[in-house]
């Protein structure tokens, strides 16, 4: 089957029926496509939550889970991770979340210690709600703090302030969450190095188990991408912010295990490692993307259309692509090099074979200690992480 799209007039999920996963254990990503308000920098598939929209979405999601569970290969696989992302999944009540997870469990076996993560925005959680999530089986929370500067947060479009972020973190701990991640952003308009240092130290004082820190990018689908934004720090300042975090996290014993992610030992994100290892995962929800067999696929993006498709009894797959051997190799290289464990040296050698120009490029990275060999593996250093996009473009 060649790369292609499912007809917009007749979307259906037979491509999923025809493409059984190769692995016994998979991840599952569930997309919740609503937010209370859209942030200026965000290009994710999300929209303001309107009356009745959550109920319609949850009904459609139930149908999607039922249809996925009815696939002939479903009884042969087990879920090792479930990740609820968005959007703002913490807009779900504990009862809604519990019903969703019960539906998933009714169709799919979960491994005994399955990681179940929910992305949360500080203003949409309380201790009681998070305790309810925990009772439902959620064992990991990812808290979208982004900034602790009360002059920057409203400009981003965020609805919480620094106190609210801290309160949400404490509420999560009081609710029993012992695997708690915090998201921060650097390169933000109005954020200088001192302000970033204060935010990093404050969050590290909270002692999160995991910390994600992404540099701002002005994506085309975002408000800021379209209209522009003033006050961005210089590239040099952003580089300084990257290093300030890397050193502060190391000083607190956090492992810099992926370009943008830090963790206490034993607290790496298992779900995200599925992506970085180019392993297989199912997708549910509007616009969610999955990878099974050798096929990458994406669901219908618009939530009303997603709901209509499922009401008609079809899986909402909108497009799919079967990866060639060359594409698979490229993905394994660039995803694997995102992680501090790196990739088998033999895998890189396969890509370099017969390509003297690329080999010269890679040799230069080795000479600059951006790329290092450790036993039979090769990995990026922290300096290499910072420049990795330039290498990834070459490796694809």
Residue with tokens 């479930």: 82
Nearer residue to ligand SF4 within complex by CB, 13 or 144: 144
For the four alpha carbons of 166, 167, 172 and 176, in that order, the dihedral sign comes to: positive
286 is an interface residue for ligand SF4 by CB under 6 A: no
155 is an interface residue for ligand SF4 by CB under 6 A: no
- Listing DSSP states for 21-67 in one string gives -SSSEEEEEEEE-EESS--TT--SS-EE--TTHHHHHHHHHHHHHHH
Closest distance to ligand SF4 from the beta carbon of 296 (Å) = 22
42 is an interface residue for ligand SF4 by CB under 6 A: yes
Looking at 42-50, 210-218, 266-274, 353-361, which segment touches ligand SF4 (CB under 6 A)? 42-50
Query: Which ranges in the chain belong to alpha helices (H)?
Result: 14-17, 53-69, 94-107, 127-136, 153-156, 162-174, 193-206, 223-227, 235-251, 270-276, 303-311, 325-336, 345-352, 356-367, 382-395
> Total residues at the site for ligand SF4 (CB under 6 A)?
11
Chain centre distance of CA 118: 11
214 is an interface residue for ligand SF4 by CB under 6 A: no
60 is an interface residue for ligand SF4 by CB under 6 A: no
Nearer residue to ligand SF4 within complex by CB, 160 or 296: 160
152 is an interface residue for ligand SF4 by CB under 6 A: no
222 is an interface residue for ligand SF4 by CB under 6 A: no
Q: Specify whether the backbone of 327 is left (phi greater than 0), alpha (psi in -120 to 50) or beta.
A: alpha
Cis upstream peptide for 2 (omega within 30°): no
Nearer residue to ligand SF4 within complex by CB, 88 or 319: 88
Closest distance to ligand SF4 from the beta carbon of 261 (Å) = 17
Quick one: which of 19, 46, 340, 388 contacts ligand SF4 (CB under 6 A)?
46
List the x/- string, 79-108, binding to ligand SF4 by CB under 6 A: -------xxx--------------------
Closest distance to ligand SF4 from the beta carbon of 48 (Å) = 9
| Tokens encoding 242 | 């990257």
44 is an interface residue for ligand SF4 by CB under 6 A: yes
Q: How far apart are CA 159 and CA 59, in angstroms?
A: 28
124 is an interface residue for ligand SF4 by CB under 6 A: no
35 is an interface residue for ligand SF4 by CB under 6 A: yes
CB neighbours of residue 197 within 10 Å: 15
CB 37 within 8 A of CB 90: no
Nearer residue to ligand SF4 within complex by CB, 120 or 246: 120
Nearer residue to ligand SF4 within complex by CB, 122 or 293: 122
List the x/- string, 65-84, binding to ligand SF4 by CB under 6 A: --------------------
- Listing DSSP states for 178-210 in one string gives -SEEEEEEES-TT--HHHHHHHHHHHHHH--SE
125 is an interface residue for ligand SF4 by CB under 6 A: no
**CA separation (Å) from 244 to 184, 220, 250?**
13, 28, 10
How far does the chain reach from its first CA to its final CA, in angstroms?
22
316 is an interface residue for ligand SF4 by CB under 6 A: no
Who contacts 312 (Cβ-Cβ below 8 Å, separation ≥6)? none
Q: Which residues bind ligand SF4 (CB under 6 A)?
A: 35, 38-39, 42, 44, 46, 86-88, 121, 144
């Amino acid at each position: 089957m060649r790369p292609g799209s499912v007809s917009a007039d007749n979307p259906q999920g037979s491509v999923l029926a025809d493409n059984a996963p190769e692995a016994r254990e998979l991840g599952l990503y569930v997309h919740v496509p609503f937010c209370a308000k859209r942030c200026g920098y965000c290009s994710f598939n999300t929209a303001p939550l309107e009356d009745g929209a959550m109920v319609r979405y949850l009904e459609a999601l139930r149908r999607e889970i039922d249809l996925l569970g009815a696939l002939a290969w479903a009884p042969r696989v087990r879920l090792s991770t479930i990740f609820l992302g968005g959007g703002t999944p913490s807009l779900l009540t504990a009862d809604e979340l519990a019903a969703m997870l019960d539906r998933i469990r009714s169709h799919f076996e979960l491994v005994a210690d399955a990681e179940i993560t929910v992305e949360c925005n500080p203003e949409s959680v309380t201790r009681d709600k998070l305790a309810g999530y925990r009772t439902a089986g959620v064992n990991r929370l990812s808290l979208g703090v982004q900034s602790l500067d009360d002059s920057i947060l409203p400009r981003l479009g965020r609805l919480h302030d620094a106190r609210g972020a801290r309160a949400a973190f404490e509420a999560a701990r009081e609710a029993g969450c012992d695997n708690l991640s915090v998201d921060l952003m650097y390169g933000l308009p109005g954020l200088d190095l001192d302000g970033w240092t204060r935010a990093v130290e404050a969050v590290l004082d909270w002692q999160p188990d995991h910390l994600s820190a992404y540099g701002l990018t002005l994506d085309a689908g975002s408000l800021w991408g379209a209209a522009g934004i003033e006050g961005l720090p210089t590239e040099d300042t952003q580089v300084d912010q990257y290093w300030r975090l890397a050193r502060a996290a190391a000083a607190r014993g956090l492992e810099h295990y992926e370009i943008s992610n830090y963790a206490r030992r034993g607290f790496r994100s298992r779900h995200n490692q599925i992506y970085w290892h180019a392993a297989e995962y199912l997708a549910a929800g509007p616009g969610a993307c999955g990878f099974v067999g050798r096929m990458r696929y994406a669901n219908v993006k618009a939530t009303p259309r997603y709901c209509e498709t499922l009401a008609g009894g079809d899986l909402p797959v909108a497009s799919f692509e079967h990866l060639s051997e060359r594409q698979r190799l490229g993905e394994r290289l660039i995803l694997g090099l995102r992680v501090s464990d790196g990739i088998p040296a033999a895998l890189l050698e396969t890509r370099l074979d017969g390509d003297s120009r690329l080999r010269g490029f890679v040799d230069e990275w080795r000479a600059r200690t951006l790329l290092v060999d450790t036993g039979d593996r090769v990995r990026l250093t922290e300096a290499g992480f910072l420049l990795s996009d330039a290498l990834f473009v070459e490796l694809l």
